[in-house]
Each structure stands twice: as structure tokens, then as C-alpha cells.
Structure 1
Amino acid sequence: MNDDVLVSSTQELKEEEIIHVATQNSFKQYMFFWSAQRLSILGSSVVQFVIIWWITITTQSELLLGLASLIGFGPAVLLSPFAGVLVDRLNRKMLIVVSDALQGIAALALVILFMTNTASLWAILLILGIRACFAPFHNTTINAIVPTMVPKDKLSRLNGLNFFVNGIISVLGPVLGALLLAVLDIGWVLWIDIITLLLALIPLAFILIPSVEKVDQEKLKVKTVFTDIAEGVRTLAGIKGLISLLIVFMLCNFFITPFSTLLPLFVEKIHLGTEADYAIVTSFMQAAMIIGGLAMVIFKGFKKKNILVCYLSIMWTFVFISILPWVPIGRFWLMGGVLFVTLLVIPVINVTINTTFQVLIPQDKFGRASSALGTITSAITPLGMVLAGIIGELVGIKLVFICSPIIAFVIVNILWVATPIRKLDKTITKRFEELEEIEQEKAEKEEQIEAKQRSEITQEEMGVSTQEKASTTKKKIPLPQTEPSLSE
């Protein structure tokens, strides 16, 4: 078996995995669901901005801001593998409903704390941690249903559309959050999260989400869960060069984390900014996501050299973000411009990689494999959040911002040269060809079935027509006259 390909032959591929060939109807249903989910993301974006700014103003601490980021993100790393197992075994629609409902209850608890003036830092962190425990189950399920409902030729554009619309939402979120905070108490602002979450659940009553029939519906035991988690890791390891690529993304996430974690304090403490200034900076960042996402919607994606494109985009990111610590004090528009240029290629990286994963990973293992993928790439991100806070307090935010991209640039280049990452492009091309062959064969079979059905219907119609004609003819032929016999 050639290590450069995921499956040795198309025939093996057919026998080993169940492939739900997405149709135009399933795509329309998914887009209805997807549109409602954007409302929920808008509500979450507003609340995220409000809570982060409240923690920034209340604590004035790099360490506590890093701790807040860790609590909000850490559970996803720990629970994603278990979420992947459940997504491949249970009703996916029900998982979405339950996880969203539990997140809504946590959001309601936040509202109650602020509206009763009983909010404290540790109570807020506890609720954020509880809510973060439910997010992996929602996100993993959403990711797993995409390949089953969206045709392969629309995956790249859909992923680009995700970044485009999410970028717009992320711009609107901080701006809307800042405007609402200017006229309303924080408790009333938080209601937007609950309202949008409820609206996002409405489409689930009208759409059909495919389930994966191949997985045995046995009772979930501890041994079974860990066996499934290991299978997800083996699925990734079976693709030569993929683990090395995931390690690169893991390190990139680690070294980019100080910027996302300490940016609020960088604006407020180093540049003496306000929530409006922070909103300006984040709006530039999300504008980059909008434009980059729009470019990927218009552009159908890279058919070849996907991994090379990602590598060059990563280099672009760390080169330009290294300019950020040298921005003059109070020049928020310039700070936003630097981050705009830096993040312009992030949609290119994510759309290319997401589409690649959606094609490479078998559908019946997608939940387990994608959650393992997410865990690997985010494994040391929580550590980065904590270290960013600790080191930021010890040596200053600016020095952290200077050193992180330099170290990342060196390590990524070493891994690019020393590991088989570059061979992944051959694997991706081969897999695309295999899936295209499968879809073509299924389309031909469907055409043959339709042609056979049309032929049978035509024969039945011809048979009925012949009988009717014979019956009509029979009625029109006069009966012969009976001549009188001689006896008469």
C-alpha cells in the first residue's frame, strides 16, 4: 500500500466507508440551518466582547486575562475527543439541541448575576468554564454534518463564505457590544446571546441531518470511548505527513496565542485606549477576515499545492505581526492596519485546510478524527494563554510580542524542511480523484435506475394504450350476421 495515499484503491474506499452523496436539496437545508447559526454567532460575539472588556477593566491583570482565556478555551481541548465519539454514534440533531440548550442555561446564569449585581470575577469564570464544556459537542457536530449535506464542489466556497460572514459578524459584534454598553447595563446586553441562540434552533425542526449508519449502536462504555478516540488518531496517522502538519498548526496556535490573549491589555494599558479603541482594532482584524473570506468565496480554492499555500501564508502571518509591538503609542488606526495585513491570509489557510480535511477524512469517522485533529492543534494553546499572562506580567507585553513571531518563524521552517509535510499535496490530489470517481459512478447508477424506471413506465403506458386500442377496435367491428339454417 502506497503511504502517500489514504486508501489503496477506489474499491477499498467504497467497501470501508459510507459516503453520503450530498444533493442540492440537502445543501439548501444546510444553508437554512447555517443562516440561523450566524445569528447565534452574532450574539456570542457581542457577549464575548462585553465579558472580555469587563474582565480587562475589572482586573487590569495580564495573568487573570490569560486565565480567563484558558477557562474559556481549555475545556474544548479536553472534551473534543469525547465529543467526536458521541457525534459518530448518536443522533446529531439531538446533540445540537441539547448542547445549545445547556449553553443557553449558562448564558442565563450570567444574565442573572449581572442583573442582580452579584457578579464576581470567580463566579463569571466558573460559568464561562461550564459553558465552554458544552461548546465542543456543538462545534464538533456542526463540523461533522458539513460533508454529508454539502456537495464536494461547494465545500471550498462554503468554507470561504463561513469566514466572510463570520468576519462581518465579528466586526459587528464588538461595535454592537460597545454601543449597547454605552446605553444599557451589561446584564441587559447579555440577553442578546440567549435570544439569538433560541432563534438558531428553529431550522432544526424542518431539516433532515444524515446519520452515520455504519457505527455499531452498542452501549457507550469507557473502553469503547477510548477505542474510538484511538481510532480517530489512527485515521489521521494513516495519512502521511498529516501529523507533522498538525504539529505545525499546534505550534502556530501556541505562538499566536499571546497576541489574542493580551491584545485588550496592549490597547488599554500600553496604548492607553478605551473600549471604543479596542473595538476599532478588532474591527480591522475582522475586516481582514471578511475580505479574505470573500476572496475564497469568489475563488474556488487551490486544486494543487494546498499545503505550500498554507506554508507561505503562515510565513506571511508571522512576518507582519512582528511589526505590531513597534506601533507608536495611541496610533490605533495604524495598529488596526498592521493586524489587517497580518490576518488577511488567515481565511486562505483555514479554508484550504478545512476543505482538505473534509475531503481526506472518511465521513463515518469524521467526528472522531476531526475532534482528534482539533485536540492536537490546540493541545498547548491553553499553556500559551497561561504563559502569555505570566511572562507578560514579568517582562512586559511588548517583549512577548517581539519574541513570539521570531521563534515561530524559525521552528515552522525547520519542520517544513525536516518532515514529510510537503508530500501531503500528492495525497490530497489522489483523494480528490478517488471521490470524483465514486460520485461519477453513483451518478451513473442513478441515471441507469431512472432510465430503467422511465422505460418501465413507458412500457406500461404502451401496454395500456394497446389494450385500450384493442378494446376500442373490438367494439367497432360488427358482429357477423347469422344466416338462417336450411331446417328453418
Structure 2
Amino acid sequence: MTDDATAPTSSTPPTGDRPTHDSPDTAATAVLADAPGGTAGAGGAPAEADDRPGWVRDTVVFLSGQTVSLFGSMLVQYAVMWHLTLQTQSGSVLALSSVFGFLPQAVISIFGGVWADRHNRKLLIIAADATIAVTTLALALLMLGGADDLWLIYAALAIRSAGAGIQTPAVSALVPQIVPTRHLMRVNGINATIQSAMMLVAPAAAAAVYASFDIVAVFFVDVVTAAIGIGLLLLVPVARVVRTAADGEDAAPVGYFDDLVGGLRYIAGHAFVRWVLALFAVVFVLIVAPSYLTPLMVVRTFGDEVWKLTANELAFSIGMLIGGAVVATWAANRSRIGMIVGSTVAFGGISIGLGLSTNLWVFLGFMFLLGLGVPFFSTPSTTVLQETVEPQMQGRVFGFVGIVMAVAMPFGMAVFGPLADRMSVELLLVLAGVALFVVVGVALALPSGRRALEDARRQTVAPADV
């Protein structure tokens, strides 16, 4: 473990692992207009956000709206999966639904990140939510009228996925505009805890509504939750990021393609951001094995009783819930890099432990630990990017994060899924764990990785974060 893992004392301001870099784009500054907060500080938070009255209220309202909206979206996710399974019992149909549910988000995220840097992020989130709600309402009305063609569901899934491609980078880039930089880890941890809680509540709620009524009722619930989420977001004042010529771009209007190329150039020239994104992508691919193949291992090794599959999901979800709470309450002043590297090493050990488990309860214990570790990887990864990337570039950077998330997991399943039909899941889990150890070793050994970590250690806290 590097020195980054050393947590500062309570009397010493944390460095936050916010590195500098040599790209010309880093000379950028941004003016935050049309909302309280003044000029932009490090990582995109207003320089005097700590002194701005109402940031706690704005954060609570924002997270509340996103939680309500997420709840409705998760209801639809489960209900559609169950509906297609029960109505068609076709693996091909489920595979197509996954394609329509993931691929549009990956494609649109390329442009969604650019839009998040060019336009009002709050309005982008509202527009995406409203489009998804209208699409869901239209599908509900069509199904009430007797239409049940699969292409209608596929089309709705594709539009919802495209909306997520616009919304996700805008949300990630908006959070540092309303949350002071030094509180980002805590707020992101709280958000991760909320999402984990939704993973426990949403399946039961979706089952209750779907069993008592039908899938159309679930669609109507989603429309209502989207409306509530939009209404709450309208109550939050959000700064508008205004790019200036100081960022190295011409003062004349810049085209979308130029912005996209600028985002690619920024990532290519920023050693630390490039390192985080590369590690994020590889870990996402390799973590597919323990997270998606464990139900198959349960059935093959421990039996196909439903309660065992349920216990497997609960162990993981409860672990994530507790992990998010721990990150929110404990990790604010801890090294982001230390948590990212440490959790990746832990994933490797846990994956090997899962593969070697011969007792169900030991296996479930490792699943709990896997869920517990997820917030220690995902939350600091998001936070360190929010703290490091300049305000006018965050949309594009998180757009590429969205692409990684949307592509890496289906890619991982395309690799590990067929292999699971040719060899044991246990062996795949062990191999995935060993691969994660290799990934950490390479990430820390590469010159770019060492430079990125050295930058993180050298970076001092910005005055605005004190």
C-alpha cells in the first residue's frame, strides 16, 4: 500500500488526492453565474460553497428527488424483466432487452457528456427525466389499449437508456456545484447507501405492484415518481458553468465535435484521470464474474432452492448498504487512492474466496464482503474525479465514465458467460481474483501509474476546501 492510504489526522486538512497535471487545458477557470456561490474552486465546487447558506438543504432536496426517481426506474427495470420472462420464456428476448437497455446509454453518453458541459445541467436532467416519463406513459397507454408488441417495449427501453446517457453525466457533474468539495465523499457515500437500500426495497415493491395489478400499474408509478423528482429538482438553485477563453479554447463558439475531441484530448493528457478510468474499466470487466455468475454457482454447487438464490442477493445488497454507510460516516478524510487500490485488492481476494467456498454460509459471507467493498471502490472513484476535473470538463469526463459502465459489464458477460458453460464457475472466480491482483500490480508499476500516484501525494488542499 502506498502512502496515499495514510489518513490525515482530524487537525490536518485532507489532501483528497487531487493531483495536478501538465495538460494545457488545466489552466482553465470557470465563472459560476445565475446562482449563489461565486467563482469555481478546485474540483468544480464553488470557492465559497462552505459559506453559502442552504447548501445542505439543496443537497437534501436534490438527493431526495433523485431517490424518488431512481425508485420508479428500478421498479420498471424489475417489472420489465419479469414480464418478458413470464410472457416469452425466451433467452433471446431477454438478451435483446439487455442490448436495448444498455447500448443506447453507451452511445448517447458520448454526446451527453458534451451537452453537460455546454448547457444547463439541471435542465438536462429535467429534460431527460421528462422524456423518459412521457415515453413510459405512452407505453402504458398503448398497453392499456391492447398493444403488446415486443418492439414497443424494446423502443421504450432504448429511449429510457438514451435518457440515462444524458442524465448520468449531468448528475455526476452537477453534484460538485452544490456540495462543498470537502463534503463530496460523505455525500457520495450517502447516495451510495440510498442506492443500496433501493436494491433491497425495489424488488419487493415491484413484485407487490406487479402481482396485485400488472406491468401497466408499474409504469404509472414510474411516471408519478419522475414527476416528483422533477418537482424537487426545480427547487434547487444550480450554478451555470460558463467557459471562458482562459481554458485554452477560442472565444468563438466551439462545435459539438470540437468539444468531444477536447474531452478526449483532456483525458489523454491527464495522467491521473486516464489512470482512474483505465482501472475503473478493467475492474468493472473482472468484477462481472463474482457479481453475475454467483447465482449460477449457487444452483450448480449448493442447490436450486429459491431461498438460496434470494440469500445470495440479500447478502450482496446488505453488504453494499452497510459499506455505503461506512464510507459516508468514516471515509471523508481518507485517501481516495488508498481506498480504490485497497478495494481492488480486496475484490481479488474475495473472488478467490468465493471460488474456493465449499460451504453455503461461507460463500454468503464472501458475498456480503463483496457488497461491502463496492462503495469503497465506486464512491472514491467518483469523488476523486469530481475533485480533480475542472468544472467545464466534468460532463465530458463523466460521459466517458458512463460509456465504461455501459460497455464494460456486457463485455465482461460476453467473455465470462460462454466460459461458464465450458468450465466451472469456481475456476472462473479464482481466475478473476488472480487477474485483479495482476491489475493492481500493473497499475502501480506502470510509469504513468507511479506519476499519477506521486501527483496525488504531492497535491495540497485548496484554500477553498479548508
Aligned counterpart, 1:166: 195
Aligned amino acid, residue 164 of structure 1: T
Q: Greater CA deviation, 42-51 or 136-145?
A: 42-51
Letter in 1 for 2:111: F
Q: 2:382 aligns with which of 321, 340, 354?
A: 354
Which of the numbers 442, 446, 459 marks the counterpart of 1:414? 442
Are positions 1:342 and 2:370 aligned together?
yes
**Conservation of the 8 A alpha-carbon contact between 1:257 and 1:385:** yes
Gaps of 5+ in 2: 1-18, 33-38, 41-45
Deviations 1:185-219 (A, max 9, x none): 23323332222111111123322111112258999
Measured after TM superposition, the shift of residue 138 of structure 1 is 1.2
Q: 1:310 to 1:300 in 2, by over 3 A?
A: closer
SS of structure 2 residue aligned to 1:132 = helix
Question: Counterpart in 2 of 1:242?
Answer: 273
Computed over aligned residues only, the root mean square deviation of the Cα atoms, in angstroms, reads 3.7
Alignment of 1:415-430 (within 5 A): 415-430=443-458
Deviation at 1:109, TM superposition (A): 4.3
Matched, 1:307 2:322: no
Structure 2 counterpart of 1:448:
none
2: CA distance, partners of 1:342 / 1:380: 18
Q: Which amino acid aligns with 1:202?
A: G
Q: Highest relative contact order (Cα 8 Å, sep 6+), 1 or 2?
A: 2
Q: Secondary structure at the match of 1:212?
A: strand
Alignment of 1:67-466 (within 5 A): 67-112=96-141, 115=144, 118-119=147-148, 121-214=150-243, 224-261=255-292, 271-274=303-306, 278-304=309-335, 306-324=336-354, 336-376=364-404, 379-392=407-420, 400-401=428-429, 403-433=431-461, 436-438=462-464
The worse-fitting range, judged by mean Cα deviation, of 285-294 and 16-25 is 16-25
1:258–1:401 CA contact under 8 A, matched in 2 = yes
Q: Tell me the secondary structure at the aligned position of residue 255 of structure 2.
A: helix
Compute the displacement of 1:53 (Å): 3.5
Deviation at 1:283, TM superposition (A): 2.8
Larger radius of gyration: 1
Q: Distance in 2 between matches of 1:117 and 1:220?
A: 53
408-417 or 109-118, larger mean C-alpha shift: 109-118
Deviations 1:153-194 (A, max 9, x none): 211110111111111121111222233344332332333222
Task: Decide whether aligned partners of structure 1 residues 438 and 342 sit closer, same or farther in structure 2, where only a CA change above 3 A counts.
Answer: closer
| TM-score with structure 2 setting the length | 0.79
> What is the deviation of 1:116?
5.5
Q: CA deviation at 1:379?
A: 4.4
Cα separation, partners in 2 of 1:244 and 1:136, compared to 1, 3 Å: same
Between the aligned partners of 1:65 and 1:402, the Cα distance in structure 2 is 28
Q: Is the Cα contact below 8 Å between 1:65 and 1:262 reproduced in 2?
A: no
TM-score where L is the length of structure 1:
0.76
Is 1:5 matched with 2:20?
yes
CA–CA separation in structure 1 for the residues paired with 2:138 and 2:415: 30
Moved more, 370-379 or 34-43: 370-379
> Structure 1's 266 and 204: CA in aligned 2 closer, same or farther, altered over 3 A?
same
Distance in 2 (alpha carbons) for counterparts of 1:290 and 1:152? 24
CA contact (8 A) 1:288 1:344 kept: yes
Matched length? 429
Q: Percent identity, aligned pairs only?
A: 24
C-alpha distance in 2 between matches for 1:185 and 1:57: 12
Give the deviation of 1:58 after TM superposition.
5.5
